Amino acid sequence: MIDLACSREDLQETVLGKGVVLPHCRIRGIREVLIIVGLSDQPFKWGKQEDKAKIVILLISPAVNPNLHLKALSFLAYQFRTKKDCIDVNSKNMEELVKEVILEKRTE
């Protein structure tokens, strides 16, 4: 699973900016979208980007449902691009802020 996400990121990185990256992949054998969040106290280099990451949102979707993958990817990218100014990556409550952004319903 991680190898798939990494090889996909090698093709084109999914960097949302302000310390947020969104690697993603589709795999066989799962039925629902999985979102795994990694938070780091220290910024780290992500791929070829000069910006350093502190928040990794790993999206894993069923291979049999590419539309579901695109919807989830679009939602997460939208949420983090529009709300990233609300997330202070140096905040002690970064975990709660990230959770709120993911669970918030998209309003458009």
Task: With beta carbons less than 8 A apart as the criterion, state whether 53 and 43 touch.
Answer: yes
Residue with tokens 């991680």: 2
Domain holding 75: CATH number? 3.40.930.10
Whether residue 108 is contained in a domain is answered as: no
Written as one letter, the residue type at 45 is K
Residue 64 lies in a domain: yes
Q: What is the pTM of this model?
A: 0.76
Is residue 97 in a domain?
Answer: yes
Range of the domain at 60: 2-103
CA 11, CA 62: separation in Å to the nearest integer? 20
Counting the structural domains of the chain, the total is 1
Percent of the chain with pLDDT over 90: 11
Residue 107 has pLDDT above 80, yes or no: no
